[in-house]
Amino acid sequence: MARSNLSNWVWQPVHHVLIAAYPILFLLSINLGEVDPREAFVPTVASIGIAIALFFVLHLVGLPARRSALVVSVLAVVFFMFGHVAGALEPMGLTGWPLLAGWLVAGVVLIGVVLVVPGDLRAPTGLLNIVSGILVAFALASVAEHVLTEPDLWVGGQQVAAAGSEATPPPPRDGAQPRDIYYLMVEDYGAPRNLIEHLDVPDDGIYDWLADAGFTVLRDTRSNYGRTPLSVASSMNMIYLDELAAEMGPDEPSHRPLDRMVRNAEVVSFLKDRGYSYVLLGSQYYLTDNSEMADVNPIFAQTSDFLAVLSESTILPSIANLLGAEDELSDRRRVYDAAVWGLDTFPELVELPGPKFVFLHLYLPHPPWVVGEDGEYVTREADEERSWTERYRSQWSFVRGQMKALIEGLLDGPEETRPIIIYTTDEGPNPRGMPEVEGNIDWSNATDEQLDLKLSIFTAYHLPGVSDDCLYPGMSSVNTFRLVFNLYFDAGLPLLADRNYIHRDRSHPYDLTDVTDRLSAESAGSDTPRTCDS
């Protein structure tokens, strides 16, 4: 009897539900290191619900159950798998509307076969039930293993020990209100030396302009880490990540401990204890989109990277293109809209009362290359007509112009109220020709030149009312706020030795290697901690 019941179940159509869920669960399973599993819940339930509803509609209009289920499964495959197929065929030159038309015709033909083929379709139903059940089981097993074995989120305790730190700020030297602090971070900007030598991007005078505006510009300094979550977690907590890496282990893929460090940063705690409000203006990027510590936190409407990637894998963006919507539903458009939204929103935050700490994270000039030199949106089709150098030059030119205008607005006031401004980047651009492992950059096999390009950055400091003698050419990001807090709050934080690390690959963020000695002498790190008193 048990065997008979099992046999009967195998022939009952359930594959349409499993196939509707599988693409979402699979995408989640291969991105567990950077995605909260809860993000997949709503799209999975919605996809299953739509599949069930379509099944019942087809069945109610007279189509037998097995045929109804097969039609729904075909529709799910056509909808969810087109992006993957298009990506696989792109190197062969199969792109655009011919590929989309061929895909849709294949789907229609397959549905026609389902409708006219004779028989009760028990065999294909049973086969699809078994195959889809196995696929979903494997994906769920990966998710379950990750959820059950993921380590506790690392907080780090008291991450820095500020000498004489107090709950209220010391009296300002000039008797005025403490100055606002702006941390302006653009993505993958790079040092001017590397931009010119490796990327053929000319110096258009922005660094000289910053110097004339009262900034001290470190034109060729270094990021301590070569990936945004690592770099921002380090700079916003003023520490190296050795302790975190040792606790997580080299094979831990989850980025959530780094995410927690950024959202609960020691820099923010330090300033809030001294009467500052925290204003966070991130981007669509999950790491800086929101923080529970923020007092003011405008959030872009579409912040889920998981949903964006899921949408990109479906047929929707291609249909939007076919209808003349110019990839309105693509992640490219989301990146562009988020950047424009952030730049438009920033002036409103400047008007907020102080003292305030404002963290602007602009997800440009990081790829994809979506912005023209004049700020116009560049479609995927138009982008394919440009050379690699043209992409870099146009997007970076736009960013430089926008940041110059933004900084001019911050400096438009009397000297005694001008803010502290730190204008920097998290890391340099990804070099071309990087080795890969499982589709991700393999930094463990990068050349010295590639590491130098990735870790070389610039930082510009506007430090009104204090001496900038403590700044030195190779001062790295881990010391940025240590120095600022020493100068303005008498924090007594020792500057750390300037070291540079690379992670193995995206799936191994805590497998870190010190590469300081492999980098060029242009902005070499320092083995000797420095002191910088106010």
* Domain shared by 253 and 304, yes or no: yes
Share of the chain above pLDDT 90, in %: 46
Per-residue model confidence (pLDDT) at position 438 = 77
Using the 3D structure, point to which of 132, 149, 166 is the last residue of a domain: 149
Read off the pLDDT of residues 78-129 as tens digits, 9 standing for 90 and up: 999 888 887 777 677 666 778 888 888 999 999 999 888 888 888 889 999 9
CA end-to-end span of the chain, whole Å? 84
Q: Does one domain contain both 335 and 406?
A: yes
Would 162 be classed as within a structural domain?
Answer: no
Q: Please say if the pLDDT value at position 145 is more than 70.
A: yes
User: Are 479 and 428 found together in one domain?
Assistant: yes
Helix (H, G, I), strand (E, B) or coil at 440: strand
Residue 57 lies in a domain: yes
Mean pLDDT of 229-234: 95
Q: Prior bond to 473 cis, omega within 30?
A: no
**Do both 188 and 145 map to the same domain?**
no
0.95 surpassed by pTM: no
Nearest-angstrom CA–CA distance, 182 and 221 = 20
Phi and psi, residue 471, nearest 5°: -70, 140
Q: Is residue 166 part of a domain?
A: no
pLDDT digits (tens, 9 = 90+) for 240-249: 999 999 999 9
Q: Residue 310 pLDDT > 60, yes or no?
A: yes
Q: What is the pLDDT of residues 260-287, one digit of tens each?
A: 899 999 999 999 999 999 999 988 888 8
Q: Which of 7, 9, 483, 87 is nearest to 318 (CA)?
A: 87
The upper half-sphere exposure of residue 128, i.e. CA atoms within 13 Å in the direction of its Cβ, equals 25
In a domain, 171, yes or no: no
CA distance 31 to 26: 9
165 assigned to some structural domain: no
Q: Are residues 198 and 71 in the same domain?
A: no
Which of 104, 132, 149 marks a domain boundary? 149
**Residue 169 is assigned to a structural domain of this protein:** no
- 141 and 190 both lie in a single domain: no
Same-domain check for residues 128 and 197: no
534 lies in some domain: no
Q: What is the CATH number of the domain that holds 416?
A: 3.40.720.10
pLDDT of residue 304: 73
Do 135 and 25 belong to one domain? yes
* Same domain (yes/no): 409, 345: yes
159 falls within a domain: no
Please tell me the predicted confidence (pLDDT) of residue 162. Answer: 39
Residue 440's alpha-carbon distances to 81, 83, 505, in angstroms, are: 21, 19, 6
DSSP bridge partners of 457: 221
Residue 404 and residue 461 share a domain:
yes
Name the token pair of 309. Answer: 């990637």
DSSP 8-class letter at 424: E
Domain count, the chain: 2
Looking at the structure, tell me whether residues 112 and 197 fall in a common domain: no
Residues of the domain holding 505: 181-523
Asked if residue 351 lies in contact with residue 313, where contact means CB atoms within 8 angstroms, the answer is no
Give the separation between CA 322 and CA 97, rounded to whole angstroms: 7
Determine the Cα–Cα distance for residues 156 and 237; give it in Å rounded to an integer: 10
Token code pair at residue 265:
């940063």
Instruction: Report how far apart, in Å, the C-alpha atoms of 401 and of each of 76, 205, 411 are.
Output: 45, 11, 16
| Residues 393 and 467 both lie in one domain | yes
Q: Pick from 5-14, 191-200, 298-307, 379-388 the range whose average pLDDT is largest.
A: 379-388
